[in-house]
Amino acid sequence: MTICGIDFGTSNSALAVVADGNVQLVRVDEDSQTMPSAIFYHEDGTAVYGRGAIASFTSGDSGRFMRSFKRTLGTELLEYGAIINGKLKKYDQIIAGFIRHLKLRAESSLGIDLDNVVMGRPVHFVDNNTEADRCAQNQLEKIARLVGFKHIEFQFEPIAAAFAHEQKVIGEKITLVVDIGGGTSDFTIIRLSEASVHKLDRKEDILSCVGGRVGGNDFDRDFCLRSFMPILGYGTTYGTKGMEVPISPFFDMSEWSKINSLYVPKVLKNLREIYIDSHSQKTFGRFVRAVEERAGHKVLSTVESAKIDLTDKYEIQEKLEFLEDGLEIILTRDGFEQTIMHHIETIGKWIDNCLREASVAEEHIQLVILTGGTTEIPLLQKIVKDRFPHADISGSDKLSSVGLGLGYDGARRFRSSLNSIVSI
């Protein structure tokens, strides 16, 4: 019996295997234990994944780059699919291609076939829609079966992160997990203890689970719209009536899963017509050029890396030479924080709900686990530290703790013997 856990993330994925009684993350992408959830479809029909996909895209190869496809689960986009090299490919096939690749990489590096899996899932794939949520999990289960898994179980991502950290817990700790990734924010309050590590039934320890569809992708979108799109003509006017240029193309360029929808002839024709009557041809012309040159992913990658640079710096200068010689933009951490403040408030409310559902008072939280790449944001860390001043804060392995925890969960659920534990 071979067992693994898969964290299929919006931005990064990981796979942990249970082998020889140990749980360990597998090097699935070059030397790395995480793989960017990215695919590049070359025009000759071949596909490359993870860092290879990013390299193909960055070096300007012809083809189609895709990210954030997890976000289509449970939405109508899954059914519509995307046109890739002239052919319609549904998103379930796209996701299956990615998960199959992850599985094959792990199998070839381990020399075994994997047939049992615990897949991670967010607390909610879709907000306030139980049916869409159920549907998303069913779609993911079908995909896992399609790629060859025989037994498939699911676990909430923040609970998995808690299981990974539990390996290091001494005594018993009432723990809050704050897992903010690329697509969703997920929270749990759970009782962790060294004595529970092998316990099969954890229902009594899980005090609450809360979550919603806010993640780093939403921060990128809002930062892009507020700080980058205005210099590409967002909010400018055209024509004799002085109408505002349509906003939807700017929104599409700001959302990873929608950028490709800009690259259809109808959209470009429409943008060129507006350009003729534009009152701000210099700025709007940059947007038209970005669409003509299919530079949308490059724009949004620049936004994301600016966001990441503002983790360490208070002010940065971001060059947009690929759009226009000498074009650059000054960005500040203050500006970024203002842009994301409404999301931070939503996250605060979810933490309230999580405490309320668990009937646990703030001061009784002994450990806070910060996981998911978005929890690198200094403002988020400060808010959590200010709110739980008495708790220990653990922020290690932000991109891999969910994957590792799914491995531990798999070991327990599939009743494999865990002789020794590999700590994270």
Ligand X SMILES: Nc1ncnc2c1ncn2[C@@H]1O[C@H](COP(=O)(O)OP(=O)(O)OP(=O)(O)O)[C@@H](O)[C@H]1O
Q: Which residues would be at the binding site for Mg ion (CB under 5 A)?
A: 9, 181
* Nearer Cβ to ligand X (167/381): 381
Q: Report if residue 16 touches ligand X, rule: CB under 6 A.
A: no
Choosing from 52, 215, 249, 296, the residue that interacts with ligand X (CB under 6 A) is 215
* Nearer Cβ to Mg ion (9/63): 9
* Nearer Cβ to Mg ion (181/407): 181
> Which residues contact residue 86 at a Cβ distance below 8 angstroms, ignoring those fewer than 6 apart?
none
Applying the rule CB under 6 A, the residues between 35 and 74 that interact with ligand X are 37, 70
Shortest Å distance, C-beta 311 to Mg ion: 18
CA atoms within 13 A on the CB side of 373: 20
- How many residues bind ligand X (CB under 6 A)? The answer is 24
User: 């997890």: which residue's tokens?
Assistant: 70
* Nearer Cβ to ligand X (154/279): 154
* Nearer Cβ to ligand X (191/213): 213
Residue 388 to residue 250: CA distance in whole angstroms: 39
Q: Report if residue 374 touches ligand X, rule: CB under 6 A.
A: yes
Q: Report if residue 182 touches ligand X, rule: CB under 6 A.
A: yes
Residue 235 to residue 267: CA distance in whole angstroms: 18
* Nearer Cβ to ligand X (227/283): 227
* Nearer Cβ to ligand X (296/373): 373
Beta bridge partners of 120: 155
User: 């924010």: which residue's tokens?
Assistant: 185
Residue 135 to residue 157: CA distance in whole angstroms: 18
From 88-96, 182-190, 223-231, 383-391, give the range in contact with ligand X by CB under 6 A: 182-190
From the list Mg ion, ligand X, none, partner contacted by residue 56 (C-beta under 5 to 8 A by kind): none
Structure tokens at 397: 């392995």
CB 303, CB 220: distance < 8 Å: yes
The candidate with the shortest Cα–Cα distance to 47, out of 58, 35, 57, is 57
* Nearer Cβ to ligand X (184/278): 184
User: 């699911």: which residue's tokens?
Assistant: 154
From 103-111, 255-263, 300-308, 383-391, give the range in contact with ligand X by CB under 6 A: 300-308
Applying the rule CB under 6 A, the residues between 310 and 349 that interact with ligand X are 311
From the list Mg ion, ligand X, none, partner contacted by residue 68 (C-beta under 5 to 8 A by kind): none
Q: Report if residue 401 touches ligand X, rule: CB under 6 A.
A: no
* Nearer Cβ to ligand X (248/311): 311
Q: Report if residue 403 touches ligand X, rule: CB under 6 A.
A: no
CB 345, CB 352: distance < 8 Å: no
From 333-341, 369-377, 388-396, 413-421, give the range in contact with ligand X by CB under 6 A: 369-377
**Residue number of the CB atom closest to ligand X:** 216
Q: Report if residue 304 touches ligand X, rule: CB under 6 A.
A: yes
Choosing from 307, 333, 343, 412, the residue that interacts with ligand X (CB under 6 A) is 307
From 95-103, 215-223, 279-287, 350-358, give the range in contact with ligand X by CB under 6 A: 215-223
From 55-63, 137-145, 212-220, 408-416, give the range in contact with ligand X by CB under 6 A: 212-220
Residues of the shown chain interacting with ligand X in the complex, contacts defined by CB under 6 A: 9-12, 37, 70, 157, 181-184, 215-217, 304, 307-308, 311, 372-374, 376-377, 399
